[in-house]
Amino acid sequence: MSLTIAALIGSITIFVLAIYLGFELISKVPATLHTPLMSGANAISGITVVGALLASNVAFNSGSPGIAAWLGFTALVLATINCVGGFMVTNRMLEMIAGKRRKKEVA
């Protein structure tokens, strides 16, 4: 499988557009929707973890794992970090909201 210049330019263009679109979408989200948005992103990261496990398994069972195994392992590590970090941020945001509610009830 060889990568042509046209395919490389197309892939880079899609990557840059995805970054721009992601930034624009996240910057337009109101603060009240960030916690549900993080929960949805964590669910997607969980699916990515499962996909990375499957990709790594296929690569290791193929006989000559090569770069596919390393890419699967890297995807697994990065998706796990993203998932755990996202849940930590979501938990902290929910604690902040619960703290504000407790203060209103006491006052």
For helices 34-61 and 66-106, angle between their N-to-C axes, nearest 10 degrees = 160
Number of domains in the chain: 1
Residues (pLDDT < 50) of the chain are: none
Q: What pLDDT does residue 106 have?
A: 62
Longest dimension (CA), the chain: 68
Give me the amino acid identity at 87.
F
The residue segments making up the domain with residue 38 are 31-106
**Is residue 12, in this structure, part of any structural domain at all?**
no
**Is residue 22, in this structure, part of any structural domain at all?**
no
**Is residue 95, in this structure, part of any structural domain at all?**
yes
Q: What pLDDT does residue 52 have?
A: 84
**Is residue 77, in this structure, part of any structural domain at all?**
yes
pLDDT tens readout for residues 77-99: 988 898 888 888 878 877 887 77
**Is residue 1, in this structure, part of any structural domain at all?**
no
Q: What pLDDT does residue 13 have?
A: 93
